Structure 1
Amino acid sequence: MKKIFLFGNWKMNNGLEETKIFFKDLTAQICEDAVICDQLERSFLEVCIFPPFTSLYVGAEILAQNVKKGIFLGGQNGFYEDKGAFTGEISLPMLKETGCSHVLIGHSERRHIMGETDDLIHKKLQAALHHGLTPVLCFGETLSERESDLTFEVIERQILKAVNGLTKEEIKKTIWAYEPVWAIGTGRTASPENAEEACSYARTLLCNYGNIDIEGEGHRDVHILYGGSVKAANVASLLEEPDIDGALIGGASITADSMLEIIHESLHRG
C-alpha cells in the first residue's frame, strides 16, 4: 500500500475568518472519522494545506490546539535568502517560525506569471532543504509545449536544473509535483494515462540522477504528485496509477467539505 499525499494549495483565496472556519471544520471532522485517523496514524496518508501568508498563523494556532499526526502547514512560496532588502518576499526561517513544515517551490503560476527561472527555483530548493523544510518542487509543460511534443524535454530540463548538486537523500526529502500548465485552473485534467506517463518519466530521471534503484523498493521513497484541476470526481483514478503518489489540489481544497471529500475518495479508491 503506497503512502498518499494530499496537498491543498489555496493560492490567493481564504482570509483569516475563512481559514479559521476551514481548519476548525477539517480537524473536527477528521477526529470523527476512524478511517482517516487510522491512515494518518499509520503514516499511509499525509495532508498539507498551503494558505496565503497572512492566514498561516491562524491555521498554525488551530492545528496546535487539535494536534493530529499527518496534517501539516505549508507556505506557497519562499525566498532563498534569510534576510535582507527583498521587498515583498518571505524567508524560509520566517515560514518555519509561523509553523510551516513544507513550502511550494516553482509552482507554474510563479514560473509563468511571476517569471521565476530554473536557476532561481534551484536556489530556493537548496535553501528549503538547508532550513529543514520539505520542498514541494513543481514542474510541467505549457499547452503549446505539449502540442509541440516537448513535454519530456521540458520535464527533463526543469528537473535536472532543480536536482543539480542534490544528494540521494535530498532527492528523497523533496516532494515532486507534476502540474501541466494547461490543466492549472482550467478545469482540464490530464488523463490518468497522460499523468502517469509524465510522472513515470520524472521518477526515472530522479532515480537515475540519485542512483536510486528504480527496480527495487527504493524508488518508492521518491514521491511524485499530480496537480491540475484535481477534484473528488477524478482523484481516485489518478491515484490508481503506479507512479502518482498523491495530488496537489487547487480550487477544490479551499473548503473543508471539498477537501474531506477528496480524502475520502482517495482512501476508497479501487
Structure 2
Amino acid sequence: MTVIALSLKMYFPRERTIKYCEDLAKLVSERNLSKRKLTMAFLPDFLTLPDAARLLLPEGIRVGSQDICDEDRGAYTGEVSPADVAALGGSVAEIGHIERRRLYHEDDELISKKVAAAWRNNLTPLLCVGEDKVMEPEEAAAYCIKEIHSVVGKEQGYPLWIAYEPRWAIGAEHPAPTSYVKTVCEYLKQAISGYRDANVLYGGSAGPGLLTEIWPSVDGLFLGRFAHDPKAFISVVEEAVNLVD
C-alpha cells in the first residue's frame, strides 16, 4: 500500500490546524482522492486530534498522534494514553523521531515499549529510523535495520510503518541523493516484509517529484514543512496516484 503521511509537529496554532483539516478534506472530496489506491495519514498535535478525526476520517484520511505514552493508564503526569488516541479515532502513532531522542532523551528501550503500546491499542506504529551521518548506503541500511530490530524484536504479524529519515538530511535544503535513498529503503523493505502492513516511507526534506524518482524502492513519503499548505500535500498525493494507478 502506498502511504503519504504528514506530521505538523508543533508549528501551527489550533485554529490554523483546524483550517488546514477543513481545506484538506475539501480538496480530497473535490478530487475524489479517497477512492484511489493509497493511504493518507495526518498527525496533528494532541489537542487537535479530535477535530482532525471529525473532519478527515469521513474523507478516508487516517489520523494519529506524534507520540504516545508506553502505558495505557497510571500516574504518568503529562503523558497521553495510546488507548485515548485510539478512542479519539487515531489509528497511527509516530514513535522514535530524532527530536524525541535528542530533546527528551528517549532510548531504544522506551521506544520499544511505545511500539508495543501502539500494537496493544490497534495503532500502527510509524517508527522513525535513520543514521546520524553520511555512510555507504549498505552501511546505513545495516544501521537502520539494527535500530528496527532493537525496538521491535522478533515480533511479526503486526502492522509496521517505517519512516526512514537520514538524520543528517532532516531540515536540509535538499534530500539525500536518490540512489542512496533507494538502496537503503530496498534493504529496509526486505527487513520488515514479514509484517502485516509493512511500509517504508522516506522523510527528510521530501517534496514534489521525489516520490517519482525513488519509486518503487519506497512505499510513500513522510512529509514535513513542504506540506504546510494543503495543496502541497495534495500535489504529492496526486503524484502517488499517478504511480499506483
TM above 0.5, one fold? yes
Q: In the aligned structure 2, how far is the partner of 1:261 from the partner of 1:206? A: 28
**Structure 1 residue 113: deviation in Å?**
2.5
Contact 2:164 2:185 in 1 (8 A): yes
Cα deviation code 1:226-255 (max 9, x no counterpart) = 1111112423223x2x33000111112222
**Which amino acid letter does the alignment assign opposite residue 113 of structure 1?**
L
Matches within 5 A, 1:114-133: 114-133=104-123
How many residues end up aligned between the 2 structures? 244
Contact 2:137 2:183 in 1 (8 A): no
The aligned counterpart of 2:59 is 68
**Which amino acid letter does the alignment assign opposite residue 234 of structure 1?**
L
2:63 equivalent to 1:82: no
The aligned counterpart of 1:163 is 152
**Structure 1 residue 102: deviation in Å?**
0.6
2:241 equivalent to 1:229: no
Contact 2:7 2:42 in 1 (8 A): yes
The aligned counterpart of 1:22 is 20
Select which of 215, 225, 240 maps to 1:251: 225
Q: In the aligned structure 1, how far is the partner of 2:130 from the partner of 2:188? A: 10
Sequence identity percentage: 30
Matches within 5 A, 1:134-145: 134-143=124-133
The aligned counterpart of 2:238 is 264
The aligned counterpart of 1:53 is 46
**Structure 1 residue 60: deviation in Å?**
1.8
Structure 1: stretches of 5+ with no match in the other structure: 213-217
Structure 2: stretches of 5+ with no match in the other structure: none
Q: In the aligned structure 2, how far is the partner of 1:269 from the partner of 1:192? A: 17
2:175 equivalent to 1:194: no
Q: CA 1:148 to 1:7, structure 2 compared with 1: closer, same or farther past 3 Å?
A: closer
**Which amino acid letter does the alignment assign opposite residue 153 of structure 2?**
N
**Which amino acid letter does the alignment assign opposite residue 62 of structure 1?**
L
Structure 1 segments of 4 or more deviating over 6 A?
Answer: none
Q: In the aligned structure 2, how far is the partner of 1:236 from the partner of 1:151? A: 22
Contact 2:141 2:185 in 1 (8 A): no
**Which amino acid letter does the alignment assign opposite residue 140 of structure 2?**
T
Q: In the aligned structure 2, how far is the partner of 1:109 from the partner of 1:227? A: 14
Q: In the aligned structure 2, how far is the partner of 1:4 from the partner of 1:37? A: 13
2:5 equivalent to 1:4: no
Q: In the aligned structure 2, how far is the partner of 1:186 from the partner of 1:119? A: 29
Normalised by the size of structure 1, how large is the TM-score?
A: 0.83
Report the aligned-residue RMSD: 2.2
